[in-house]
Amino acid sequence: KNQVEQSPQSLIILEGKNCTLQCNYTVSPFSNLRWYKQDTGRGPVSLTIMTFSENTKSNGRYTATLDADTKQSSLHITASQLSDSASYICVVSDRGSTLGRLYFGRGTQLTVWP
Amino acid sequence: EADIYQTPRYLVIGTGKKITLECSQTMGHDKMYWYQQDPGMELHLIHYSYGVNSTEKGDLSSESTVSRIRTEHFPLTLESARPSHTSQYLCASSGPTSGSREDIQYFGAGTRLSVL
């Protein structure tokens, strides 16, 4: 069964600290993995997208890694800010954009305290 | 900033009412989607469209219907709302973007529906 599991379910950190969110998937075949940020009451916003051949991608203070062999990905947030408080969702696609379907994780709820 | 808009943002209605959730995008994307999301849960695809006059049901069974008469509009309709329809509905569109071979999905802000 194709699944996307994220951990931890929730996380509280102090402003300025770093954190790492995990994503494990069993989706096969694999096309690409995406990380989204979803603020409360808003739609998700794309942070990174990685294909099979990419093992790291950065977007400002966000760095995503991908190990396609172990089917694991992580999202590292550096020097957290209050505005980083949101749900971070891992999404895996099983084919190319035209035909692929997306498998969504339940997200990690990150809270950054001052 | 994505150019995809949903209205209304919030809607509280009584059981049995007919409602239409609006979604429009100005990016010229052919592909559009409707997702349902309950608090703390993953998004579930309920409808998608790959272009004008093309609509398909998603993975999650839904009593809603959609239409795609124009590229930019993808409204979702519930003929007779019930309390079980209470949820957040997210519309998205996808298309190519510079710097990536894969389509990127852009989401609207969502409509939070409460059926009493």
Positions in chain A short of pLDDT 50 = 97
Best of B10, B46, B102, B112 to mutate (most A CBs within 10 Å, chain A): B102
Q: Shortest Cα distance from A3 to chain B (angstroms)?
A: 11
Residue A96 sits at φ, ψ, to 5 deg, of -65, 170
Whether B16 has a pLDDT exceeding 90, the answer reads: yes
Whether B63 has a pLDDT exceeding 70, the answer reads: yes
Residues of B in contact with A49 (CB under 8 A): 100, 102, 104
* Nearest residue of A to residue B113, measured between CA atoms: A41
Can you tell me the mean pLDDT for B71-96?
94
Rounded CA-CA distance B94/B82 in Å is: 30
What six digits make up the tokens of A4? 């996307």
With cut-offs at 50, 70 and 90, classify the pLDDT of residue B104. Answer: confident
B98 vs A: CB within 8 A: no
- What pLDDT is stored for residue B73 in this prediction? 97
* Average pLDDT, rounded, for chain B: 91
Residues of B in contact with A107 (CB under 8 A): 40, 42
- What pLDDT is stored for residue B114 in this prediction? 96
